[in-house]
């Protein structure tokens, strides 16, 4: 099975006046057509930066310093600005964490949808308007026809996010990079949007990179999960397996912090401390200052990615040689 | 009657927006005026030192209530009594100042809510200066550093700009700013929806610790019902601008009565039971431009009858909750299987 998107050894650096920071380091993953890859991890771990790099939208002072990004077997990180823009409008769509950055405050949402579709698809004005109204209905916007005339500021946070989703879906892209697409939405609209995403994957073979903090969403729609910590992938594996038996101590801590609907504890489990800052990277395993299972070597040696079953785990505990040696 | 320990009392609060096309267009096309019924006759009280959560569909009016309480949005009708004073009645920002100091807000969107051109130190110091609590100087600097440490940031961050922080870090900055004027009441609109679950746990633990130590009162808006279950003492469930069920949070989550609340709880994705069939709300999402007659939920309610389409249900008390539903009043509500903790089935792949 060949991947529709293949990210290989991606490294993103941020240039500062006196030094260079590394926001994303040695990140590799594949997404096949029709597959949904969930990306989770600490706030600031580099999830959005990774998505932005795939989209070719990194802006100074951030830049890709190493690695390759392949879309449908073709290298896209070396494309020029115009070629990349054409690809982005038509074949790769983005849904950003912040809906306001994707919407033009001075244009009605109907005009924005119609303009996007007419730029990339061969549609008449009337056909585009028709399709815009249908898309708004599909993402659960009430009174879609009347809402075409609304401006973004006249809508609630969740409604704006649904408009952004409609914009992403409108040209039937082959790859969607969705950064927190449903966090602003209530659970019933969220379920509706996730159904829609899943249907697109199944019926049209759309591939999705879905960044989310919601483990419920991960459990429901993703096929594989990638866990990021301090700019690196620490665990990648099939969703069911990762949720049932996470291997990396950070992933386990993450799972333990989820509040439970049916239990009310005074304190939630929390991983002590915080992720190292970009300007103060930690040698060895970046998680070692917080890791309850850290070994002596963890502070000095960075663990490579080990394959265990169907998962990849960057932790010395997963080292088959280390386990027998220790 | 307002109980003695009530810090906030919202009475028949109504907020409407005029969403009419421009006059000229109305004249040409014959289109009428259009009004968004964002919040309709909402009543609730919040006890000092407690957490009141608002939940409900996107667009049902939660943020509008939050903004109205915080004084950013003017109400169309009704009153908001905060610490015994009707703050909705203030005509000028100046008159409201002494109360505003006690009432701060954390917004849904950590991207839009921080001024991108201000350094963190200025952002956090701003409420202190606005309310004249301190003068610029070393003491103010120390206070800002202390606030940043309280929320888990470093005092060295004061010279940075918001774009240099991740979403989670920005939300901590918002919390530091909200705490700066030492408020009694904090309106938290989706405070953790931009955060990963481990930082969320830290922020929720921080909010609880601050509540214990300073007696803070929270109005919490969240789509995450597990967060609500963890934080709220009381909760209100909104549907299309109205509160349909409110009362003790533990009771409502364990034994929801209103058909909408029941559907909402059945729709929650559960990471510990990924293959559970989630309920789906069927039917068209109603429009706040033209709310359905009678009970606004009737076009989508499995229990709706002719009376529901005609007559708006009034809230009635059931144990520690108030519920506005004819089926509850008429005693024709089916019993609901008790929600229990589902276990995750471990897939059969070899380790
Ligand atoms: N333009 C920039 N200048 C400086 N630092 C940046 C810039 N963009 C991102 N960063 C830093 O890069 C790191 C990764 O950020 P990123 O936005 O990818 O995190 P994230 O995993 O998406 O977090 P969240 O879950 O909070 O959205 C963070 O430490 C952030 O502060
Ligand atoms: N300035 C405005 N002009 C016109 N309509 C508005 C305005 N602000 C909000 N509305 C409308 O009022 C209704 C309630 O919006 P509100 O932001 O309170 O929803 P919400 O419950 O917070 O939703 P979400 O969960 O999506 O944030 C929505 O229909 C929205 O479109
Ligand atoms: S490599 Fe060591 S410190 Fe890092 S997660 Fe594994 S055990 Fe913990
Ligand atoms: S009043 Fe009628 S329509 Fe409304 S929730 Fe109750 S049963 Fe359903
Ligand atoms: Mg992000
Ligand atoms: Mg809102």
Q: Whose CA is nearest to atom 28 of ligand 2?
A: B59
Any domain includes B44: yes
State the pTM of this model: 0.86
Residues of the domain holding B311: 6-271+278-329
Mean pLDDT calculated for residue range A201-222? 90
Residues of B in contact with A140 (CB under 8 A): 285
| pLDDT at residue number B343 | 33
**Average pLDDT in chain B:** 86
Q: Is the CB of B301 under 6 A from ligand 4?
A: yes
- Bigger pLDDT: B249 vs B71: B249
Any domain includes A201: yes
Cα A244 to Cα A237: distance, rounded to the nearest angstrom? 11
Confidence category of residue B45, pLDDT binned at 50, 70, 90: very high
Give distance in angstroms: CA of A249 to centre of ligand 3.
7
| pLDDT at residue number B348 | 35
Give distance in angstroms: CA of A99 to centre of ligand 5.
13
Half-sphere exposure of B38 (CA within 13 A, CB side): 23
pLDDT at residue B283 greater than cutoff 90: no
Poorest-pLDDT segment among A190-204, B299-313, B317-331: A190-204
Cα A245 to Cα A42, A45, A241, A319, B93, distances in angstroms: 19, 22, 6, 17, 55
pLDDT at residue B4 greater than cutoff 60: no
Give distance in angstroms: CA of A305 to centre of ligand 5.
24
Cα A38 to Cα A88, A286, B83, distances in angstroms: 20, 22, 46
pLDDT at residue A284 greater than cutoff 70: yes
Q: Is the CB of A295 under 6 A from ligand 3?
A: yes
| pLDDT at residue number B58 | 81
Any domain includes B340: no
Cα A161 to Cα A298: distance, rounded to the nearest angstrom? 42
Count: domains in chain B? 1
Count: domains in chain A? 1
pLDDT tens digits for B47-67? 999 999 999 988 899 999 999
pLDDT at residue B251 greater than cutoff 70: yes
Confidence category of residue A192, pLDDT binned at 50, 70, 90: confident
> Which ligand is located closest to the Cα atom of residue B256?
4
CATH number where A11 lies: 3.40.50.300
Q: Is the CB of B171 under 6 A from ligand 1?
A: no
| pLDDT at residue number B277 | 60
Mutate to test the interface with A, among B32, B59, B228, B281 (most CBs of A within 10 A): B59
Confidence category of residue B350, pLDDT binned at 50, 70, 90: very low
| pLDDT at residue number B276 | 56
Are A261 and B351 an interchain contact pair (Cβ–Cβ within 8 Å)? no
**Contact residues, A window 97-156, toward B, CB-based 8 Å cutoff:** 97-98, 100-101, 140-143, 146, 149-150, 154-156
| pLDDT at residue number B294 | 95
| Sign (positive or negative) of CA dihedral B287, B288, B290, B294 | positive
CA neighbor of A186 nearest in space, from A154, A157, A215, A218? A157
Q: Please tell me whether the interface predicted TM-score (ipTM) of this complex is above 0.85.
A: no
CATH number where B182 lies: 3.40.50.300
| pLDDT at residue number B338 | 58
3-class DSSP state of B9: strand
Q: How many Å lie between the alpha carbon of B133 and the closest alpha carbon of chain A?
A: 32
Any domain includes B299: yes
| pLDDT at residue number A139 | 84
Any domain includes A159: no
- Measured between CB atoms, does A278 come within 8 Å of chain B? no
**Contact residues, A window 162-181, toward B, CB-based 8 Å cutoff:** 162, 180
Residues of the domain holding A15: 5-91+173-247
> Which ligand is located closest to the Cα atom of residue A160?
2
């Amino acid at each position: 099975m060949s991947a529709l998107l293949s990210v290989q050894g991606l490294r993103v650096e941020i240039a500062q006046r006196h030094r260079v920071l590394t926001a994303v380091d040695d990140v590799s993953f594949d997404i096949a057509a029709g597959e949904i890859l969930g990306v989770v991890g600490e706030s600031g771990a580099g999830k959005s930066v990774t998505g932005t790099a795939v989209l070719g939208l990194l802006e100074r002072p951030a830049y890709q310093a190493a690695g390759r990004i392949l879309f449908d077997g073709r290298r896209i990180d070396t494309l020029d600005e115009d070629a990349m823009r054409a690809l982005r409008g038509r074949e790769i769509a983005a849904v950003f964490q912040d809906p306001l950055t994707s919407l033009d405050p001075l244009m009605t949402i109907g005009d924005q949808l119609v303009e996007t579709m007419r730029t990339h698809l061969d549609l008449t004005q009337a056909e585009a308007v028709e399709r815009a109204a249908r898309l708004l209905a599909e993402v659960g916007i009430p009174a879609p026809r009347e809402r075409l005339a609304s401006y973004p500021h006249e809508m609630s946070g969740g409604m704006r996010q649904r408009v952004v989703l409609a914009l992403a879906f409108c040209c039937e892209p082959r790859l969607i990079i969705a950064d927190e697409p449903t966090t602003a939405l209530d659970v019933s609209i969220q379920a509706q949007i996730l159904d829609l995403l899943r249907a697109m994957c199944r019926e049209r073979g759309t591939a999705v990179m879905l960044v989310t903090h919601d483990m419920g969403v991960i459990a429901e729609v993703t096929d594989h999960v990638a866990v990021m910590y301090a700019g690196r992938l620490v665990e990648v594996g099939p969703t069911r397996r990762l949720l049932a038996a996470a291997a990396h101590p950070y992933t386990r801590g993450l799972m333990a912090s989820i509040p439970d609907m049916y239990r009310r504890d005074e304190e939630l489990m929390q991983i002590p401390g915080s992720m190292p800052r970009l300007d103060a990277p930690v040698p060895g395993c970046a998680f070692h200052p917080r890791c309850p299972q850290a070994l002596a070597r963890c502070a000095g040696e960075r663990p490579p990615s080990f394959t265990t079953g169907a998962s990849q785990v960057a932790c010395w505990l997963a080292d088959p040689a280390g386990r027998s040696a220790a | 009657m307002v109980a003695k320990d009530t810090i906030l009392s919202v009475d028949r609060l109504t907020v409407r927006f005029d969403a009419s096309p421009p006059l000229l267009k109305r004249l040409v096309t014959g289109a009428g005026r259009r009004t968004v019924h964002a919040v309709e006759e909402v009543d609730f009280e919040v006890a000092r030192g407690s957490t009141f959560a608002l939940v409900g569909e996107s667009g049902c009016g939660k943020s509008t209530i939050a903004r109205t309480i915080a004084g950013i949005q003017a109400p169309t009708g009704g009153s908001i009594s905060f610490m015994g004073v009707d703050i909705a009645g203030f005509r000028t920002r100046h008159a409201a100042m002494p109360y505003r100091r006690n009432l701060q807000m954390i917004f849904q969107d950590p991207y839009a809510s921080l001024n991108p051109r201000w350094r963190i130190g200025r952002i956090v110091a701003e409420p202190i200066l606005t309310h004249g609590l301190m003068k610029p100087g070393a003491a103010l600097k120390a206070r800002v550093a202390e606030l940043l440490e309280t929320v888990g940031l470093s005092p060295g961050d004061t010279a940075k700009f918001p774009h240099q922080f991740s979403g989670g870090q920005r939300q901590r900055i918002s919390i530091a700013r909200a705490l700066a004027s030492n408020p009694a009441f904090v309106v938290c609109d989706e405070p953790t929806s931009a955060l990963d679950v481990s930082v969320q746990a830290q922020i929720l633990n921080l909010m609880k610790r601050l509540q214990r130590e300073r007696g803070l009162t929270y109005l919490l808006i969240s789509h995450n019902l597990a967060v609500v279950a963890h934080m709220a003492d009381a909760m209100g469930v909104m549907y299309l601008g109205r509160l349909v069920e409110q009362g003790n949070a533990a009771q409502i989550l364990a034994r929801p009565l209103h058909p909408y609340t029941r559907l909402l709880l059945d729709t929650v994705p559960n990471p510990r039971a990924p293959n559970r069939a989630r309920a789906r709300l069927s039917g068209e999402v109603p429009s706040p431009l033209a709310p359905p007659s009678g009970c606004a939920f009737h076009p989508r309610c499995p229990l709706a009858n002719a009376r529901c389409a005609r007559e708006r249900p009034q809230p009635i008390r059931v144990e520690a909750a108030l519920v506005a539903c004819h089926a509850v009043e008429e005693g024709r509500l089916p019993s609901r299987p008790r929600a229990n903790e589902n276990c995750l089935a471990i897939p059969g792949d070899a380790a």
